Amino acid sequence: MASNSSSSAQQRLRIIAGHLQKRPEEENASVAAQECKAEAPRSEPSSATPVPRRRQEIMKWNGWGYSDSRFLFNKKGQAEFTGKRYRLSGLILPSLKDWFEGTFGANLQHRSPATPSLNLSAVAPPHLNQPFVEDLKAAGLSVSHDPEDRVFRAHGHCLHEVFALREGRIGRVPDVVVWPSCHNDVEKIVELACKHNVCLIPYGGGTSVSSALECPREETRSIVSLDTSQMNRILWIDEKNLTAHVEAGIIGQDLERQLNERGYCTGHEPDSMEFSSLGGWVATRASGMKKNIYGNIEDLVVHIKMVTPRGVIEKSCLGPRMSTGPDIHHFILGSEGTLGVVTEVTLKIRPIPEYQKYGSVVFPNFQQGVACLREVARQRCAPASIRLMDNEQFQFGHALKPQVSSIFTSFLDGLKKFYITKFKGFDPHHLCVATLLFEGDRGKVLQHEKQVYDIAAKFGGLAAGEDNGQRGYMLTFVIAYLRDLGMDYYVIGESFETSVPWDRVLDLCRNVKERIVRECKERGVQFPPLSTCRVTQTYDAGACVYFYFAFNYRGLSDPVHIYEQVEHAAREEILANGGSLSHHHGVGKLRKEWMKESVSGVGLGMLKSVKEYVDPQNIFGNGNLL
């Protein structure tokens, strides 16, 4: 017992525990690898994590994000953002109103408020498979058929889903919600589901924008939502190989924070990272903002464990690369919950970078901006993140500038604007902005920064400061909140994305934006829509493009239907212009109709045959993808 090695191990444990002082309750669960239930029952898992079982306690039931954070127009007609969680929280945004009214032709007098609370009688009573529920309970699993729990897990964040909730319309919802707390629990649940023939729909962060969480209308069996949120521990960290083994229910911000506390990060930061889960990333082939350094999810995973109706699928070692036939991880990545539940993932981790720096560049027009990004990609010197907003989005970003505190700053802003538009001759209706994020050693970052700004200068780009850059990135976290504000005033919208070869980026952006405007006009939308895009990722052979599309729906009888028709047309346009069906949102049920066209009949057949072998009873019957 008192041998040298064990005492030094204890010493190390103490030191690590010291690092973790802030979250002592996690010490047990996090540092030691152990069988979950038998040896380390968690005392209060819900207090250890920001995602409680009853999510509705901290999150909106009919909108994006935390209940305490929302945009509103105050009595003076000024926009403000409530709560304390974000940099923008508690601030006044003086120019948002004008932008909002001017862009959408909206009016603060015309409100379209949401139903304040869930009408429980609108929720159909659960269709329970009694023997299954009893077996679950007998196995000691936490189960609920509370209507609020069920409604919360019946949707993602597609426009039509949120719009229906705001109107108080509730469709088919899961009949039961079950919360496994470890891999073994999931095995048990899947086994019972097969035995009793119920439909399982895995639920991670609930941030899907592909109708992936919608209960299939034709499903007659009892539908069980398998909420992975309680499987949220980092099981071990291997500093020699720089890997971490993590339960798949952990959400992005927790994973990152907990790793940070130990001096590490994954670097995987999708825009939804506050809420989306590791398992969800794997199941949709997610992409993170800083993929240029850290890679997308498929580059980050070393090992995946998934429970399927046939049993558990996993590789036998942690080798960094293998030639053992087609990579079985690629059956799992992007399977969108149709094959099983991802329970544990081994991920690459990196030491936290020493230095981080934001930046931004103004270009005279979008063409120049794209040409610059292309050159950056050609030279393979992309910073951790580089994004190019078009002019409309640049103006949108400006509308989100908080009130300036000092006369000096506002004077400086004026001076900058004068310099760019008058002295440099940039047309404020054409100029666009690239936001940058550099990470790494301080010296290297500064060197890297210079290289990128030099390239930008060749394309007429002017450095436009760190502030603009930082605000650009902040925008991605609050934009989803903004949609809720729009919906309070007859404005609906959504974003969608694609990936496309470099030579087609400009044509695709122009054509898709114009198609949106034209489709809206043809469908009787009174005011021209907001139709804007940005290039969010660069690759060797192409880029990822993100579109925002929103319009004022006053006077339209079925705005959601019109929205869907326009988005459909926009997707057709994307495909016709050489864009992909999706870069990272996934297919879900929303984009299923194009799968065959996208991957060929044989390709689809391959995927179907895998599904048939793995899940012949269609237990994982969410109906996504295939």
DSSP state of 120: G
Residue ranges of the binding site for substrate: 483
Q: How far is the CB of 486 from another protein (least distance, A)?
A: 27
DSSP state of 539: -
Q: Which residues bind another protein (CB under 8 A)?
A: 503-504, 507-508, 510-511, 514-515, 575-578, 597
Backbone region of residue 442 per phi and psi (left: phi > 0; alpha: psi in -120 to 50; beta: other values): alpha
Nearer to another protein, 553 or 594 (CB): 594
Q: How far is the CB of 277 from another protein (least distance, A)?
A: 34
Q: How far is the CB of 193 from another protein (least distance, A)?
A: 40
Residue ranges of the binding site: 202-208, 284-287, 336-342, 483
Closest listed residue to residue 499, CA positions, set 382, 579, 584? 579
Residue ranges of the binding site for FAD: 202-208, 284-287, 336-342
Backbone region of residue 449 per phi and psi (left: phi > 0; alpha: psi in -120 to 50; beta: other values): alpha
- Is 609:555 a contact under the CB 8 Å cutoff? no
Among 546, 548, 553, 563, which one carries the catalytic annotation? 546
Nearer to another protein, 82 or 582 (CB): 582
Nearer to another protein, 343 or 582 (CB): 582
Q: Which two tokens stand for residue 440?
A: 């790494």
Nearer to another protein, 167 or 507 (CB): 507
Q: Which two tokens stand for residue 239?
A: 């500093």
Q: Going by C-beta distance under 8 Å and a sequence separation of 6 or more, which residues neighbour residue 605?
A: none
Burial 604-618, CB ≥16 within 10 A → b, else e: beebeebbeebbeeb
Q: How far is the CB of 580 from another protein (least distance, A)?
A: 10
Nearer to another protein, 163 or 363 (CB): 363
Closest listed residue to residue 275, CA positions, set 436, 44, 102, 51? 51
Q: How far is the CB of 573 from another protein (least distance, A)?
A: 9
Nearer to another protein, 371 or 508 (CB): 508
Is 453 one of the annotated active-site residues of the chain?
Answer: no
Q: How far is the CB of 501 from another protein (least distance, A)?
A: 8
Closest listed residue to residue 515, CA positions, set 587, 576, 592, 433? 576
DSSP state of 264: E
Tell me the angle at which helices 391-399 and 466-488 cross, rounded to the nearest 10 degrees: 80
Sign of CA dihedral 90, 111, 399, 461: positive
By annotation, the residues acting in catalysis are: 546
